[in-house]
Each structure stands twice: as structure tokens, then as C-alpha cells.
């Protein structure tokens, strides 16, 4: 049993996804409970896996007993287990939150929603655990297709358009990634990541252009998947029109898994020497990221719809993560990976809190948020904590992402990035304080609005507490992440 834990991480949610229609046929409300149960088991398994990775190094699992490089291999290393725990935890919290929200927004489609929800999580978990490039592509498609569907179930017709837009762009991205994988397979004859990266230097000396083309396909495809400026155009509409739960889920997790793939492809497949010296793709990425940080923030300031504002804020925050990847030194990459978890908590909390406000009042325009803090004090307190963390107020977690990224920029002699990171925290302050001022000061025109129901409030508060704890105990996670960064570089 225990040696099968790596496969269970993927199989459990996958089987649950197929069970849900059957159970939903019998009792609709059990769909939620079985989803929660399944994610909770994954979470417990992942804690166990963390222990064994910490104790005895990388855990490998051969699917069906076929040995790599011929069979598919699952590899749980520090980075994978970090992502698995993050995905399991955040999706667990969001699943608890989803009860009321889904009952209201998607009352006809509860069964379909949870089926897709579990498929999406299975896809995300698959991406981060697999050690095989083609398998990674399969899971990427599973998660993308479910995400298109989940966005399309949003209330308004705009959601359909947003989803269709995302589908077209996302499919192009998937094609690019597939081409990249195909090219690498052509020159190395392998799909296993470890095997492939060992054969790559030789392949590059024989077929430099093919490897180069593969690299470019990967960079562009993954940039689209993680909505890196200027390939971010699908994101604002998708986040704005998706149901609240879905916005939170894809904002907190999907782009992060994109970042994970970027890190994997860059540092594990191609290797640090290749991406920094042979082709300086990292320095290009860091400049693009710097522009993304600024452009995303400025766009966010211009929005009146709060979900759209958060969406543009995500464009900017993805820039932080990519900047960390682009710096390609130990401290910078630590900052980038740190921001994966920090941003997941912050943005998750913000989207859930906004979802609760929409659930209670239906308002989405920032100008209507006047005095809502007096009516929904706990929800908005959590929102404020996450917002302040995004601004980078110490000792909240967002501050430390900035700290590491700025320090990493200075270590690599690129001061301009440190200045941009710090400048962007002022821009963040610009758009968040605009909301906070409305929320807390002034009379509320909202009569009879109450605090969100407990099943929504508790997840929001958990994530807000996470923003505080991840900041206060940053020493623990940053030293863990630093060891991840050092294994990659």
C-alpha cells in the first residue's frame, strides 16, 4: 500500500471524478462530501510522502512495473511534493467553500461541477507528480479542458465567450508544448524527464536547431498557459466571468502549475547551464516579467469590476514568479517559488472573499463596496489581510516574496528589477487601498446584508490566517524552498 502512494495521489481524485455522477444520481449533496473526502486523503498521503522525501530523498514509482525510460515514471522530489501539498490544501479549502456558492450559482449542475472539479485537480496533481513529458502533456490537457468547461458554466453569457477565447488560445499553447515535446523526442528518443535531460547535451551538439526550436515552443506555450504578459489576454475575461469558486481555483492553482512546468522544463529538462549561457532565455524572461509586473498593476488600477481588478493583479503577480525563474540564482528562484505558495494563499483568499460578497449582495463594482466592511466584518478583514500582504506589508507573507526577489535581483547585479518590484508594491497599494478605503470608511447603503455563511467564512479565514502564518514563520518555508532551489540550480 505505502509504496503505491505516489500513484494514489492521482488515482484517488480521478476515480472520485467517475464516482460522482453515480453518487449524484442517488443523492446530489453527497457529491461534495466525497470530493472533500478524496482531497483530504490526497492531502494526508502527501504529508506522508513529504516525510519520506525528507527522510530518504526522491521517491520514484514505475507505472505498471514498466521500468523507465520505457514505462511512465512518477517522481516525487522536493519541488513536486511542495506543489502537491499546495494543490491539495488549497483545493480542500476551496471545496469546503464551494458548498453554498455552487448551490446558488450552479444549482442545476452540481453533479457536473464536482465531476469537473475533481478532474481538474487530478490533472493538476498529475502534472506535478509525473516524471514523463508526454504524460505531463496528457494531464495538462485534462486540466485545461476541464478548466474551459468550468469557466463556461459561469452565470452570464460572457462566460461562454471568455471560455471559448481561452479554449482557442489554450489549445494553441498546448500545440506548442506538444511540438516542443515532439522535437525533444525526435533528437533524444526519450520522454522520461531524467533520461531526456541526460541525453540532451549530446543531442544539442548534433541537432542544435531542433533543440532550440523545442525550447522556444516550450517557452511560448508555457507563457500562454501561465498568462505571462503579453500572452495574458485570455486571463482577465476568464477570471472575471467564471463562477467565484472556479476563479479562486484557477487563480490560485492553475497558473501556479504553469509556473511549475516552466521551472521543470527550464531547470530539470534543459538545465541551468543551457538556459542561462547557451541560450540566455532566462534573462529575456526576466525582462518580460518585469514589464508584466508593471503593466498588470497599471491595468489593475484602471478596473472598476473587482474580479477583473484581481485578474489583472494576477497578471502582475505571475510576473513576480517568472522574474524569480528568470533571475536563475538561488535567492531569486527561492523568491519565485515562495511567491507560488504566497500568491496562492493571497489570491485564493481575495477571490473567495469577493465571491462571498457577490454571494451575499451581488455587487461587483468597486464603487458599490462602500461600507461593506461594517456589514461583513470578518470577510472583509480577511480580504484586507490578503490585500495588505499583496502590497507587501511586513510581516505578512507577500513582503517576503518581494524581499527574496529584490535581494536576488541585487545579487545578480540587476538593480533595475529590485526597483521594479518595489515600485510595483506602490502600484498594488494604489489599487488595493482604493478598495479598502471604500470598504471600511463611510456609511453603508447596504441594508440587511449579513456576514457570509460559516461554510464560506471559515475557508476565507483559513487562507487569511495562512497569509499571516506564512509570513511570521517564513524562516521554515524559505529554508525548505531554498533547498528546492538549490537542487534545481
Partner 1 sequence: MEIISIKPLLAVLISLICALLIVLSRKNKNIRESWTILTSVTKFVIVASMVPTILRGDTIAYTLMSILPGIPFEFRVDAFGLLFGVLASFLWILTSLYSIGYMRSLKEHAQTRYFACFAIAISATMGIAFAANLLTLFIFYEILTLSVYPLVIHKETPEAKSGGRKYLIYTLSGGVVLLLAIILTYSFAGSLEFMNHGFLAGHASPEMLQMLFVLFIIGFGVKSAVMPLHSWLPTAMVAPTPVSALLHAVAVVKAGIFGVVRVIYFVFGVDLVSELDMGIALAYFVSFTIIVASMFALAQDNLKRRLAYSTISQLSYIILGAALLTPSGLTGGILHIAHHAFMKITLFFCAGAIYVVTHKKNISEMNGIGRSMPITMAAFSICAIGLIGVPPVCGFLSKWYLSMGAIEANEVFFVFVLLVSSLLNAAYFLPIVFNAFFKEPDDKSSVGEAPPFILIPLTITAIISIILCIVPETLNPFLQIVKEVVENIGWKI
Binding site for partner 1 (CB under 8 A): 388, 391, 393-395, 400, 402-403, 406-407, 410-411, 418-419, 422-423, 425-426, 429, 433, 437, 440-442, 474-475, 478-479
Closest CB 363 distance from partner 1, rounded Å: 20
Collapsing DSSP to helix, strand or coil, 130 comes out as strand
Closest CB 410 distance from partner 1, rounded Å: 5
Which residues neighbour 404 within 8 Å (Cβ) at sequence distance 6 or greater? 324, 331, 332, 334, 335, 338, 478
Torsion angle (degrees, nearest 10) of CA 317, 322, 328, 334: 40
Looking at the Cβ atoms of 60 and 374, the one nearer to partner 1 is 374
Which residues neighbour 214 within 8 Å (Cβ) at sequence distance 6 or greater? 179, 180, 181, 183, 184, 187
Looking at the Cβ atoms of 234 and 403, the one nearer to partner 1 is 403
Looking at the Cβ atoms of 240 and 424, the one nearer to partner 1 is 424
User: DSSP letters of 12-45?
Assistant: HHHHHHHHHHHHHHH-TTHHHHHHHHHHHHHHHH
Looking at the Cβ atoms of 220 and 391, the one nearer to partner 1 is 391
Closest CB 97 distance from partner 1, rounded Å: 26
CA distance 328 to 332: 6
Closest CB 287 distance from partner 1, rounded Å: 20
Closest CB 427 distance from partner 1, rounded Å: 11
Per the listing, cell 518590484 goes with: 421
Closest CB 394 distance from partner 1, rounded Å: 4
Looking at the Cβ atoms of 305 and 437, the one nearer to partner 1 is 437
Closest CB 441 distance from partner 1, rounded Å: 5
Looking at the Cβ atoms of 110 and 427, the one nearer to partner 1 is 427
The sign of the CA dihedral 290, 291, 292, 296 is positive
Looking at the Cβ atoms of 49 and 346, the one nearer to partner 1 is 346
Looking at the Cβ atoms of 52 and 330, the one nearer to partner 1 is 330
Closest CB 428 distance from partner 1, rounded Å: 10
Given a contact cutoff of 8 angstroms between Cβ atoms, the answer to whether 59 and 44 are in contact is: no
Q: Give CA angle at 368 (363, 369), nearest 5°.
A: 90
CA distance 129 to 135: 10
Joined together, the cell numbers standing for residue 55 give 527522510
CA distance 452 to 438: 19
What count of Cα atoms within 13 Å lies in the side-chain half-sphere of residue 199? Answer: 16
Closest CB 380 distance from partner 1, rounded Å: 14
The sign of the CA dihedral 22, 26, 27, 30 is negative
φ and ψ at 330, to 5 degrees?
A: -55, -45
Closest CB 475 distance from partner 1, rounded Å: 5
Beta-bridge mates of residue 61: 74
Looking at the Cβ atoms of 46 and 428, the one nearer to partner 1 is 428
Looking at the Cβ atoms of 410 and 489, the one nearer to partner 1 is 410
Closest CB 385 distance from partner 1, rounded Å: 11
CA distance 488 to 455: 39
- How much of the chain is helix, strand and coil, in % rounded to 5? 85, 5, 15
Closest CB 298 distance from partner 1, rounded Å: 16
Beta-bridge mates of residue 73: 62
Looking at the Cβ atoms of 144 and 477, the one nearer to partner 1 is 477
H or E element in which residue 75 lies:
strand 73-76
Among the listed residues 47, 122, 50, the one whose alpha carbon sits nearest the alpha carbon of residue 79? 50
Looking at the Cβ atoms of 25 and 475, the one nearer to partner 1 is 475
Looking at the Cβ atoms of 278 and 422, the one nearer to partner 1 is 422
Which residues neighbour 141 within 8 Å (Cβ) at sequence distance 6 or greater? 123, 174
Closest CB 472 distance from partner 1, rounded Å: 8
Among the listed residues 181, 275, 260, 198, the one whose alpha carbon sits nearest the alpha carbon of residue 226? 260
CA distance 267 to 94: 31
Distances (CA, A) of 485 to 400, 445, 479: 16, 50, 10
DSSP annotation of 106 reads T
Amino acid at each position: 500500500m505505502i509504496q503505491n502512494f505516489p500513484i494514489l495521489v492521482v488515482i484517488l481524485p480521478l476515480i472520485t471524478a467517475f464516482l460522482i455522477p453515480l453518487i449524484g444520481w442517488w443523492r446530489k449533496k453527497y457529491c461534495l462530501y466525497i470530493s472533500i473526502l478524496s482531497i483530504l486523503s490526497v492531502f494526508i498521503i502527501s504529508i506522508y510522502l513529504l516525510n519520506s522525501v525528507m527522510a530518504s530523498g526522491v521517491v520514484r514509482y514505475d507505472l505498471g512495473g514498466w521500468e523507465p525510460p520505457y514505462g511512465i515514471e512518477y517522481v516525487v522530489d522536493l519541488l513536486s511534493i511542495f506543489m502537491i501539498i499546495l494543490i491539495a490544501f488549497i483545493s480542500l479549502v476551496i471545496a469546503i467553500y464551494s458548498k453554498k456558492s455552487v448551490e446558488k450559482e450552479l444549482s442545476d449542475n452540481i453533479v457536473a461541477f464536482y465531476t469537473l472539479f475533481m478532474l481538474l485537480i487530478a490533472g493538476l496533481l498529475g502534472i506535478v507528480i509525473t516524471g514523463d513529458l508526454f504524460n505531463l502533456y496528457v494531464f495538462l490537457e485534462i486540466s485545461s479542458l476541464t478548466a474551459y468547461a468550468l469557466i463556461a458554466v459561469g452565470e452570464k453569457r460572457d462566460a461562454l465567450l471568455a471560455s471559448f477565447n481561452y479554449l482557442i488560445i489554450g489549445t494553441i499553447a498546448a500545440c506548442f508544448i506538444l511540438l516542443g515535446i515532439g522535437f525533444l523526442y525526435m533528437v533524444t528518443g526519450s520522454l522520461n524527464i531524467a533520461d531526456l535531460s541526460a541525453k540532451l547535451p549530446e543531442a544539442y551538439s548534433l541537432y542544435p536547431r531542433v533543440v532550440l526550436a523545442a525550447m522556444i515552443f516550450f517557452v511560448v506555450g508555457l507563457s500562454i498557459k501561465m498568462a505571462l504578459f503579453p500572452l495574458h489576454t485570455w486571463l482577465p475575461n476568464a477570471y472575471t466571468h467564471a463562477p467565484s469558486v472556479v476563479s479562486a481555483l484557477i487563480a490560485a492553482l492553475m497558473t501556479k502549475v504553469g509556473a511549475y512546468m516552466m521551472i521543470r522544463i527550464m531547470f530539470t529538462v534543459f538545465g541551468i547551464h543551457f538556459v542561462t549561457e547557451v541560450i540566455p532565455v532566462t534573462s529575456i524572461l526576466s525582462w518580460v516579467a518585469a514589464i508584466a509586473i508593471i503593466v498588470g498593476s497599471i491595468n489593475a488600477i484602471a478596473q472598476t469590476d473587482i474580479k477583473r481588478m484581481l485578474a489583472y493583479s494576477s497578471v502582475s503577480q505571475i510576473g513576480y514568479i517568472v522574474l524569480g525563474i528568470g533571475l536563475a540564482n538561488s535567492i531569486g528562484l527561492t523568491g519565485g517559488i515562495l511567491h507560488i505558495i504566497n500568491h496562492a494563499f493571497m489570491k485564493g483568499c481575495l477571490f473567495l472573499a469577493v465571491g462571498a460578497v457577490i454571494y451575499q449582495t451581488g455587487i461587483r463594482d468597486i464603487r458599490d463596496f462602500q461600507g461593506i466592511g461594517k456589514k461583513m466584518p470578518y470577510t472583509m478583514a480577511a480580504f484586507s489581510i490578503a490585500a495588505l500582504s499583496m502590497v507587501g506589508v511586513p510581516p505578512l507573507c507577500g513582503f517576503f516574496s518581494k524581499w527574496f526577489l529584490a535581494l536576488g535581483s541585487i545579487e545578480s547585479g540587476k538593480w533595475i528589477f529590485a526597483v521594479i518590484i518595489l515600485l510595483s508594491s506602490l502600484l498594488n497599494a494604489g489599487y488595493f487601498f482604493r478598495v479598502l478605503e471604500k470598504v471600511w470608511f463611510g456609511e453603508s447603503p447596504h441594508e440587511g446584508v449579513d456576514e457570509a455563511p460559516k461554510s464560506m467564512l471559515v475557508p476565507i479565514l483559513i487562507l487569511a490566517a495562512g497569509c499571516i502564518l506564512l509570513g511570521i514563520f517564513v524562516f521554515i518555508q524559505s529554508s525548505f524552498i531554498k533547498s528546492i532551489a538549490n537542487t534545481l540550480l
